[in-house]
Amino acid sequence: MQAIADLGDLRGKRVLVRSDLNVPLDGATITDDGRIRASVPTIKALSEAGARVIVCAHLGRPKGSPEDKYSLAPVATRLGELLGREVAFATDTVGESAKAAVEAAGEGDVVLLENLRFNPGETAKSADDRAEFAGQLAGLADAFVSDGFGVVHREQASVFDVARLLPSAVGGLVEAEVGVLRRLTTDPERPYAVVLGGAKVSDKLAVIDNLIQTADRLLIGGGMVFTFLKAQGHEVGKSLLEEDQVDTVKGYLEQAKDRGVEIVLPVDVIAATEFSAEAEHDVVTIDAIPADRMGLDIGPKSSELFADKLADCRTVFWNGPMGAFEMEPYAGGTAALAKALVDITAQGALTVVGGGDSAAAVRQLGFADDQFGHISTGGGASLEYLEGKDLPGLTVLDES
């Protein structure tokens, strides 16, 4: 893959940057600007090189037409604050507003286009429809920089097709993400532990299958753990359970045992009468989950166990919270895990927080990004990389 430096002198050139600015919003208020902050260095470097920077991104899942709640207007404001300069905002993607904003941009100026997914061509299944939209985007620019790691696993117009139409390079954010993930997959320093949480086992089947071949330990929490506990013969009450995956999980447990990979499961959970912060809840052992309760977090003894299993690790990848961290009674497990990672990071271990809910959780719980080795901007892309899949947004850059 070419780096930005390989594109030559960019002064006065129009450079289209695919960023990942898919941030959570409460109305027009950005509740976590981590992805915007992560995108700033590449945009700033291009601006300082004298390029006319055209940033494109998506937000949420609109259905191919404009929706006010998914507008990138609040992002343009925040991006300008972080860059320390005004960011011109185009109210469409490839229409008259976009063309006028790009035409008016001078050297070093930054333009943000409206949500790419307001155009159906961005995510179209038809290669011809994507190519048509990609051609319109490419017509705005002289070069392309791929810097949205959170979307490189998608074969979409602004990620994949545009790279085939313009001189293309990888941005600093994607370059850094790939560098970290290579350290996880190519001779990682051991012991190497992977912590998986979140709601469903089915979302992580492929990555579990692959990691059993490479990791020394797998620590399982979150809603997905109850399918593991069921596979071990435990009753899980009203906890989240994927009954159709129990046999698959039994196979993973056997495979891990045969390969000498340690799978660490909770020994206690916080079980509540319903999915609510106000619900009655208690700590129970995994063999005593009441039939009328659901597990919403790992318990305190499990938090201690997980911290102990991570204490000697030199490499850790974490994806998925340990419980329903959004509600204070069920945030303890995720907070304890984050603290354990902070501790081993200070001792020189490589700790990678795999984006998505994990990144949101550590920030919501008061941890700083620099307390960890790396916080990814792309949960899904990170997992697919660890599964060993080819990511279209990266393979196309290898071709260009």
60 annotated ligand-binding residue: yes
388 annotated ligand-binding residue: no
Catalytic (active site) residue 389: no
Q: Which of 164, 314, 380, 389 is catalytic?
A: 380
Catalytic (active site) residue 380: yes
61 annotated ligand-binding residue: yes
358 annotated ligand-binding residue: yes
11 annotated ligand-binding residue: no
281 annotated ligand-binding residue: no
Q: Mind spelling out the 3-state secondary structure of the chain?
A: CCEHHHHCCCCCCEEEEECCCCCCEECCEECCCHHHHHHHHHHHHHHHCCCEEEEECCCCCCCCCCCHHHCCHHHHHHHHHHHCCCEEECCCCCCHHHHHHHHHCCCCCEEECCCHHHCCCCCCCCHHHHHHHHHHHHCCCCEEEECCHHHCCCCCHHHHHHHHCCCEEECHHHHHHHHHHHHHHCCCCCCEEEEECCCCCHHHHHHHHHHCCCCCEEEECCCCHHHHHHHCCCCCCCCCCCHHHHHHHHHHHHHHHHHCCEEECCCEEEEECCCCCCCCEEEEECCCCCCCCEEEEECHHHHHHHHHHHCCCCEEEEECCCCCCCCHHHCHHHHHHHHHHHHHHHCCCEEEECCHHHHHHHHHCCCCHHHCCEECCCHHHHHHHHCCCCCHHHHHHHHC
177 annotated ligand-binding residue: no
Q: Which of 37, 164, 200, 339 is catalytic?
A: 200
Q: Which of 13, 14, 18, 35 is catalytic?
A: 35
22 annotated ligand-binding residue: yes
Catalytic (active site) residue 200: yes
204 annotated ligand-binding residue: yes
Q: Which of 356, 373, 378, 393 is catalytic?
A: 356
295 annotated ligand-binding residue: yes
357 annotated ligand-binding residue: yes
59 annotated ligand-binding residue: yes
Give the residue ranges of the annotated binding site for (2R)-3-phosphoglycerate. 35, 117, 154
Residues labelled as active-site residues = 35, 200, 356, 380
Binding residues for ATP: 204, 295, 326, 355-358
Binding residues: 20-22, 35, 58-61, 117, 154, 204, 295, 326, 355-358
Annotated binding site for substrate: 20-22, 35, 58-61, 117, 154
